[in-house]
Chains A and B, each alone.
Chain A
Amino acid sequence: MPANFMPTAQEYLRFAPESLLILVGVLLMILEPLSGPDGKRKFAVISFAALAAAIGLAIAAGMDPGPAFSGLLMVDGFATFFRVLVLVIGMFVILISTNYLKLEGHESGEYYALLLFSVVGQCLMAASNDLIMLFIGLECSSIASYVLAGYLRDDKRNNESALKYFLLGSFATAFLLYGVAWTYGTTGTTNLTAIRAYLMDPAHHANMVVVGAATALMFVGFAFKVSAAPFQMWAPDVYQGAPAPVTAFMSIGSKAAAFAMFVRVMMTAFEPVKDRWEPLIWISALATMTIGNCAALRQSNLKRLLAYSSIAHAGYLMVAITAHSEIGTASVMFYLTSYALMSLGAFAIVVYIARKGERFVEINDLAGLSQRQPLVAALFVIFLLSFTGIPLTAGFFGKFYIFKAALDSNLVWLAILGMLNSAVAAYYYLRLIVVMYMQPPAEGAEELLAPTIGIRVTMLVTAALTIALGIFPSFILDLAGKSAAFAR
């Protein structure tokens, strides 16, 4: 047995957030059958507290950065940033889920356990420094979300969403793994730092064709997970069919974690061959933005519209990856933070509007919202303006830094086309505002009760943070700038 076989206490501390969440998740599954039908609310409280404690552990682990478990994990600033981000997203998703599940009559411990397991996978994706660890994190997150997407198992739309997500997700994972296998065969390792060292060595230039092909295969897997063109077609169906809080979770948390692993792999392991993958991501970024925005123009379903809008936002993020610089990485981190805030707010409102059975998810159901619930309408306007990228909101600085990073890397055309795209996007976001403020409520519309406490807290906190980041972006931006350098 090698001397370093037993991990040190320090390494366990670096893995502490995941360990805690796994333990609590298992505990929830044990408690679930023991609790009566009235005792389900405590599961939400326990999992919320566990996520809050995990944030504390993640920050504590981030104070002392370094590798863990023979380089499988790398707990650096980047990992800590994304761990905290996905944990916070998980907490907000619990806030918007509780009442939804109660209305649907499916409040139970499994939902929260699956949510925690999925968050564990996302934390691992953010922190893994090895292609195999990355694969395990990705699957841990995905398998739990397959179940969550079909959580209301008697609902046909839920079934369909889960089936499509499962089949296409596994298909993409197979491509990713095949790329990993070829990378392993060529470089003899799956550690990202070691792959980088191999590719830097000029003696290995003869193998670059194989490495390029392996990178392309892995790109297929990554592009699926971040819903980038040409592998974005699953997203609208899956996001529309899944329960609204789960859609929020998949389109915000899973996407943030997927971008974290995408950026880390491209910026550490495959950075030496950047000339080969840059054109590929350039085209994909442009196609993703254009397809997302153009398709969103003609949607009538609110969830489907937000799905296409999330595809378009993935396109902007790909622009920052194309820039492959530290500023690009920092702008990805800032943009994902602001996107998470405004999307969580928007989805909280969708959950609120949809009501039991998700009967009201058409854009027309927003008509006259400004008269029926003035506060909700006003908050929705903030999120929509932030999506559009209007100054004084977080979305403005997110786009600003991404296009600045693109210009710094001489991607002038991509930046121009991206800006044109965000002008197109303004149309469908502003159309929602017009419907809310200019159209009268439908005849005999059902009365909208005041939002429940979870929805209200989510809306107000995310709206406040969206505005705060739009006025003082430097807090998150400094943090992102400091964490954007990877350990190599």
Chain B
Amino acid sequence: MPPIPTVVPMSWYLILSAILFTLGAAGFLLRRNIITVFMCIELMLNAVNLTFVAFSHQLKQVDGHIFTFFVMVVAAAEAAVGLAIILTVFKNRQTLEIDEISSMKL
């Protein structure tokens, strides 16, 4: 049996962030509720944040931590606009199912 590492190795963080990112991307493509789809995008952004922090720790630089703040601020701005858009859609159509919101097709 291999020895149990005393600190969490770097690769674990990267694997976890890759799993989170994939889950987010898969959820975006498969889920049908707009709010869930939106949460999947946030999950992807958080996976990115985890990658940044892990790399920043490994490189012993503070840059990656700062980028995380930028990503968080932008994600918050995006969430504000996105939820407002979702609200107007719901007000006009009384539904949050993505398949029902496509009036423009060939």
Contact = CB atoms under 8 A, between A and B. Distances in A.
Interface of A: 132, 135-136, 139, 143, 146-147, 150, 153-154, 156-157, 159-160, 162-163, 166-167, 170-171, 174-175, 177-178, 180-182, 184-185, 188-190, 236-237, 240-241, 298, 304
A414 to B, nearest CB: 28
B77 A139 contact: yes
B6 interface: no
Nearest to B18: A178
A178 B51 contact: yes
A163 B104 contact: no
Nearest to B61: A188
Contacts of B82: 146, 166-167, 170
A237 B55 CA distance: 38
Given A146-B85, A156-B93, A136 B24 contact: no
Contacts of B58: 185
Contacts of A139: 74, 77-78
Nearest to B43: A174
Nearest to B45: A174
Interface string B46-86: 01100110110011010110010011001001100110111
Interface of B: 14, 21, 24-25, 28, 34, 37-38, 41, 44-45, 47-48, 51-52, 54-55, 58-59, 61, 63-64, 67, 70-71, 74, 77-78, 81-82, 84-86, 88-89, 92-93, 101-104, 106
B63 A178 contact: no
Contacts of A177: 45, 48, 71
A170 B41 contact: yes
A236 B104 CA distance: 9
A184 B52 CA distance: 8
A178 B61 contact: no
B104 A241 contact: yes
A254 B88 CA distance: 24
Contacts of A143: 74, 77-78, 81
Nearest to A149: B85
A240 B106 CA distance: 11
A237 B103 CA distance: 9
Given A143-B78, A174-B21, A185-B58, 4 more contacts: A132-B70, A147-B84, A167-B41, A184-B63
Contact of A159 (B48, B51, B77, B89): B89
Given A167-B41, A177-B48, A237 B88 contact: no
Given A160-B104, A174-B24, A178-B47, A190 B67 contact: yes
15 contacts: A132-B70, A139-B74, A139-B77, A143-B74, A143-B77, A146-B82, A147-B85, A159-B85, A159-B89, A162-B89, A166-B78, A166-B82, A174-B21, A184-B63, A189-B63
A136 B85 contact: no
A153 B71 CA distance: 28
Contacts of B55: 181, 184-185
A149 to B, nearest CB: 9
B41 A135 contact: no
A334 B86 CA distance: 39
A166 B85 contact: yes
Contact of B51 (A147, A182, A188): A182
Given A167-B38, A185-B58, A237-B104, A135 B74 contact: yes
Contacts of A166: 78, 81-82, 85
Nearest to B54: A185
Given A147-B81, A163-B89, A178-B51, A136 B70 contact: yes
A465 B92 CA distance: 42
Given A177-B48, A178-B47, A184-B63, A163 B102 contact: no
Given A163-B101, A167-B38, A181 B93 contact: no
A132 B48 CA distance: 13
A150 B21 CA distance: 29
B66 to A, nearest CB: 8
A150 B61 CA distance: 41
Given A170-B78, A178-B47, A163 B63 contact: no
